[in-house]
């Protein structure tokens, strides 16, 4: 049992942040790693990235977007409530080194996953440009945090309600055209965004890392649910990833595999909203 110490809602209650007491994991976690959460005895195991940790206080932060039953259930919990299982730290930590100029591009809740990675690149002495995007101003998350974690923050909204009117990739293109010696692009967000971004950076021949989010079960390399095709080879994302060379990833396969249980997910969500009216 793990206690939720703090809860913060953002992006018009579509995104939620928890600070949870998990001392053993807090001690060990590194940027880019995730945990698996099982909210209660009948719950599913879902992976969530650690958006931050405090080893001294023994806490980790997770930020999740409400997209279905489990995340809706999590949002219904409050400070002082407990989560049955939190397992981690899982996945290979981000390989951070001093390269020069690094661009960190986050879309949607991908910004949450991006935040600790951005911070780590800055701390390693890189010049970090961050680009964060959302559909509209009210859905933008972690703006202040990302500002502090980078040297230069650019914001985009699809509807133009804030920052640059357009997509994160528009801003990325401007920077790449500007002739800066960009050593690395890190892209994390919805699959269509990552796919498009990788297509673009490939044209500019800039190394690009993405963080993949296939469906997972055990997240210890035991089941193969999370398999993704990278460079024509099948890889287990939970133990070999979640970060991969974006130019090698088969994004179309990933999207199809993510959609494998749409029918069941709807059944679960409908049952949940019936039981727990908003």
Ligand X SMILES: Cc1cc2nc3c(=O)[nH]c(=O)nc-3n(C[C@H](O)[C@H](O)[C@H](O)COP(=O)(O)OP(=O)(O)OC[C@H]3O[C@@H](n4cnc5c(N)ncnc54)[C@H](O)[C@@H]3O)c2cc1C
Per CB under 8 A, residues contacting other proteins are 24-25, 28, 38, 42-45, 69-70, 84-90, 217-218, 220-225, 227-229, 234, 239, 253, 256-257, 259-261, 264-265, 267-268, 271
Q: What is the rounded distance in angstroms from the CA atom of residue 215 to the CA atom of residue 248?
A: 19
Interface with ligand FES (CB under 6 A), residue from 84, 222, 267, 276:
222
Q: Which is nearer to ligand X, 71 or 176 (CB)?
A: 71
Q: Contacts with ligand X in 201-220 (CB under 6 A)?
A: 213-216
The stretch among 19-27, 59-67, 212-220, 256-264 that binds ligand FES (CB under 6 A) is 212-220
The stretch among 55-63, 69-77, 83-91, 224-232 that binds ligand FES (CB under 6 A) is 224-232
Q: Which is nearer to ligand X, 70 or 118 (CB)?
A: 70
Could you tell me where the beta strands, DSSP code E, fall in 77-213? 82-83, 85-90, 101-107, 127-134, 152-157, 164-165, 182-188, 208-211
Query: Residue 67's binding partner, choosing from ligand FES, ligand X, other proteins, none, with beta-carbon cut-off 5 to 8 A by kind?
Result: ligand X
Q: What is the rounded distance in angstroms from the CA atom of residue 252 to the CA atom of residue 129?
A: 28
Q: What is the rounded distance in angstroms from the CA atom of residue 20 to the CA atom of residue 97?
A: 29
Q: Does 68 bind ligand X (CB under 6 A)?
A: yes
Taking phi first (over 0 means left), then psi (-120 to 50 degrees means alpha), and beta for anything else, what does residue 205 get? left
From the CB of 253, what's the least distance to other proteins, in Å?
6
The CB density around residue 258, as the number of other CB atoms within 10 Å, is 14
Q: What is the rounded distance in angstroms from the CA atom of residue 78 to the CA atom of residue 166?
A: 36
Q: Does 238 bind ligand FES (CB under 6 A)?
A: yes
Q: Which two tokens stand for residue 250?
A: 């088969």
Q: Does 191 bind ligand FES (CB under 6 A)?
A: no
Q: What is the rounded distance in angstroms from the CA atom of residue 186 to the CA atom of residue 205?
A: 14
Cis peptide before 242 (omega within 30 of 0): yes
Query: Residue 85's binding partner, choosing from ligand X, other proteins, ligand FES, none, with beta-carbon cut-off 5 to 8 A by kind?
Result: other proteins
Q: What is the rounded distance in angstroms from the CA atom of residue 102 to the CA atom of residue 134?
A: 21
Q: Does 235 bind ligand X (CB under 6 A)?
A: no
Interface with ligand X (CB under 6 A), residue from 14, 53, 61, 70:
70
Q: What is the DSSP string of 228-240?
A: EEETTEEEEHHHH
The stretch among 102-110, 117-125, 152-160, 220-228 that binds ligand FES (CB under 6 A) is 220-228
Q: Does 118 bind ligand X (CB under 6 A)?
A: no
Q: What is the rounded distance in angstroms from the CA atom of residue 246 to the CA atom of residue 148?
A: 26
Q: Which residues make up the interface to ligand X (CB under 6 A)?
A: 34, 44-49, 63-65, 67-71, 109, 112-113, 213-216, 242, 258-259, 265, 269
Q: Which residues make up the interface to ligand FES (CB under 6 A)?
A: 216-219, 221-226, 236, 238
């Amino acid at each position: 049992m793990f206690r939720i110490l703090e809860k913060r809602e953002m992006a018009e209650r579509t995104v939620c942040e928890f600070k949870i007491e998990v001392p053993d994991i807090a001690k060990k976690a590194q940027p880019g790693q995730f945990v698996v959460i099982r909210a209660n005895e009948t719950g599913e195991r879902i992976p969530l990235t650690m958006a931050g940790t405090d080893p001294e206080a023994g806490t980790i932060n997770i930020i999740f977007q409400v997209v279905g039953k489990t995340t809706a259930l999590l949002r219904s919990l409050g400070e002082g409530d407990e989560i049955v299982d939190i397992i981690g730290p899982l996945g290979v930590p981000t390989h951070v080194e001093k390269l020069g100029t690094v661009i960190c591009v986050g879309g949607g809740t991908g910004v949450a996953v991006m935040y600790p990675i951005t911070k780590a690149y800055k701390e390693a002495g890189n010049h970090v440009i961050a680009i964060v995007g959302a559909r509209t101003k009210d859905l933008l998350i972690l703006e202040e945090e990302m500002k502090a974690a980078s040297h230069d923050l650019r914001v985009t909204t699809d509807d133009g309600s804030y920052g640059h009117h357009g997509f994160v990739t528009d801003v990325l293109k401007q920077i790449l055209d500007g002739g800066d010696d960009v050593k690395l692009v890190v892209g994390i967000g919805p699959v269509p965004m990552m796919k498009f971004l990788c297509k673009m950076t490939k044209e500019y021949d800039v190394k690009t890392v993405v963080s993949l989010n296939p469906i997972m079960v055990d997240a210890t390399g035991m089941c193969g649910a999370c398999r993704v095709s990278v460079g024509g080879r099948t890889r287990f994302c939970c133990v070999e990833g979640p970060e991969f060379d974006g130019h090698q990833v088969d994004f179309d396969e990933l999207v199809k595999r993510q959609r494998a249980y749409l029918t069941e997910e709807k059944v679960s969500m409908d049952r949940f909203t019936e039981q727990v009216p908003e």
